[in-house]
Amino acid sequence: MTAMAPKRTEPDLSFLLDHTSHVLRTRMSAQLAEIDLTPRMHCVLVHALEEERTQAQLAEIGDMDKTTMVVTVDALEKAGLAERRPSSTDRRARIIAVTDEGAKVAEESQKIVDRVHENALASLPDDEREVLLQALNRLVTGHLETPVEGARPARRARQKG
């Protein structure tokens, strides 16, 4: 007896996006591991360098729960790359400040991230690369910009930033 699977009428966009995203993340993780960094650590360093941000703000940007964020910042502190400090604008808040060494590592890790992205896009002809980027940007700023809440929430994607 064979299953009577419903006929697909559209390409499996979820699979295509999920699979490429997963492979990209594995490549990113492997490359960053060579400098003893994780993608989360990279995310925190880069976004903490942009402006004064609290741990909660950085967790939101990086789509990390509170526990994951604490572990990530603890690892950055232990490595001497960042530290928790009082905010200069709100004495009740604590920010994540990147050390001089952390800024150097963030520079190096950004080069790695850019290279991983460049290599992925280089596998496409120039004209297809531009079309892909334009189409994805149109989706994330248009029809697929805002998640829909359901009875069973899906894992939230990392926020652009």
The per-residue pLDDT for range 16-27, each reduced to its tens digit, is: 999 999 999 999
Average pLDDT over residues 84-97: 90
Neighbours of 160 (CB within 10 A): 8
Name the residue among 110, 96, 107 with its Cα closest to residue 56. 96
Average pLDDT over residues 54-80: 95
Name the residue among 89, 128, 81, 90 with its Cα closest to residue 108. 81
Strand ranges in 48-157 using DSSP code E only, listed in sequence order: 82-86, 94-98
Name the residue among 80, 72, 67, 71 with its Cα closest to residue 39. 72
Which pLDDT score, from 0 to 100, does residue 16 have?
94
Q: How confident is the model at residue 161 (pLDDT cuts 50, 70, 90)?
A: very low
Rounded percentage of the chain residues whose pLDDT exceeds 70: 93
Name the residue among 41, 45, 22, 24 with its Cα closest to residue 33. 41
* pLDDT higher than threshold 80 for residue 128: yes
Distance CA 112, CA 35 (A): 10
* pLDDT higher than threshold 60 for residue 61: yes
Average pLDDT over residues 40-47: 97
Structural domains present in the chain: 27-117 (1.10.10.10)
Answering whether pTM is above 0.95, one says: no
* pLDDT higher than threshold 70 for residue 107: yes
Q: Is residue 77 within 8 Å of residue 84, measured between CB atoms?
A: yes
